[in-house]
Amino acid sequence: MKKLIPLLALSFVTTVAFASHLRCGYITAYKQNCSSRTYTITITVFTNTASPVKFGEDGTLDFGDGSNMLIPAVDNIARPDLGPNVGMASFTINHTYAATGHYLISYAEQARNGGVLNMSDSFLTTFYTETLIDTDFCATPKFIAPPVATGFSLHDFNLSLGASSTDDIQLTYELVTPFRDRGTPVGGFVMPSGLTLNYLTGLLNWDMNVSDFHSPGEYNFAVVVKQWSQEGETWHYNQHVRIDFQVILSGDTPEDFIMFDNQLDEYNRVAAPMDVEKIVKVFYEIDGTFPALELFSELPEEAVSFVTYDSVSESTGNNIKVGKVILSPRESDVRENGYLLSIRGNHISNSNYFSDINFLVYTAEELPPLPNPVITGTQEEISDIQIFPNPAADYLSIQINEAGYSQVVIYSMQGVTLKQQSFENNVILDTTDLQPGVYICDVKRNNRSVKKIKLVKTQ
């Protein structure tokens, strides 16, 4: 019996030292002086406040230029508005790069939050996130709403993962597998069916009616927000932010709620010319007390206002909260690319439950042609990348003539990741489970896209 006592004591110490606590997070970087190479880098994480472990006690920030540092312990700030035992913490530091170019900033820390349902043993899985910077730009995209949300396991769910940028550039969004290290996906990851992500606005929808996996509990996903610049008809991929986000599904019986809008086109875009007032209305209906509406906006405060009032549905008799977005861009707000707005509807009775809607505002008389850099944009291609057969039926073969870390990602035309696999020089990817149709095949080298093609899947 005496021999068991030290073992039990050791087991207890180990559990406390590595108690799981990190739910999700991301890294942003900006230059206070755009002509310099000094960045203000911030890591923002969302935590489990029931854990005694603080953010940063053993986490490593890698600046991507051969230097790194251990992050000191940072206290949590409770965020009960995001759910029980949800907190947030952040760490900021300035760093100067010796030369211009691209740098992959990353952060890794032991022990994600335990009990995540769609990955293997999240308690023993390293938390990892990254941001690729291009020193030709002033800042990376910045998220306008928190990436933790609570929804019902029996009702459709919408979450805004939209980002803003101080630069006049195009952003796109891609749903991907979370990483546990650079280029290394977490183990046993499951992407439930029914998930879609708007590649222009960053609005995630989880359709529970078609989802095969939506039990109550915690789910983790990742989205890569890519920044593009355009020269003529050519798109150039400049930098990205990878955000880990968490959805907590409740088994409670949902109330019937719906958000919809007017004035928008089928891609949730609206034109709001300079010095012309434009109004977009949003309606949030639930069976119960009046809900609340909140606006997250990339537009300057002087160019947008938001008012709400109560109403009642003539068809259902339910309470409705009406939100009126008044757009009045000024000359200083005019730019080529759209501004992102996100409206969140909260249940007053339980403010942890909400639904989002995103749309893009263009300061133009008419909406521009629909951008699609996800499909048409590539970086410098390696001289010899073979992807065959295309059309494909049962398999897809990829061969590269250079050594190094490679990854192939297959995603739908809506930007939802369906398959991905890491490899060195060649790989044969099983495609038998893909439905007939058109997909995007993206080949990446050292975490950067080098070739994209449209892939046709036959019977």
Domain that holds residue 299: 258-362
Q: In this structure, are 340 and 401 located in the same domain?
A: no
CB 288 within 8 A of CB 319: yes
pLDDT of residue 314: 78
49 and 168 inside one domain = yes
Q: Are residues 220 and 105 in the same domain?
A: yes
Checking if the pLDDT of 8 tops 60, the result is no
- Which of 250, 273, 302 is at the close of a domain? 250
User: Is the domain of 117 the same as that of 224?
Assistant: yes
**Averaged pLDDT, 109-137:** 92
Q: Is the peptide bond before 391 cis (omega within 30 degrees of 0)?
A: yes
3-class DSSP state for residue 332? helix
- Within a domain: 394: yes
Find out whether 443 and 449 touch, Cβ atoms under 8 Å. Answer: yes
Better pLDDT: 340 or 167: 340
Residue 22 in contact with residue 45, Cβ under 8 Å? yes
* Number of domains the chain contains: 3
Domain finish residue from 213, 228, 250: 250
Does the residue 2 lie in any domain?
no
- Mean pLDDT value across residues 207-212: 84
- In this model, does residue 152 exceed pLDDT 50? yes
The answer as to whether 9 is a domain residue is: no
- Same domain flag for 271 and 243: no
Q: What is the DSSP letter of 331?
A: G
Of 228, 250, 272, which residue sits at a domain end? 250
94 and 221 inside one domain: yes
pLDDT digits (tens, 9 = 90+) for 253-307: 655 566 666 678 878 899 999 988 999 988 887 766 667 889 999 999 999 999 9
Structure letter (DSSP) for residue 364? S
CATH number, residue 448: 2.60.40.1930
Q: How many residues does the chain have?
A: 459
Same domain, 202 and 341: no
Is 279 inside any structural domain? yes
Whole-angstrom Cα distance, residue 158 to residue 163? Answer: 16
Q: Is residue 10 part of a domain?
A: no
pTM: 0.78
| Average pLDDT of the residues in 141-152 | 89
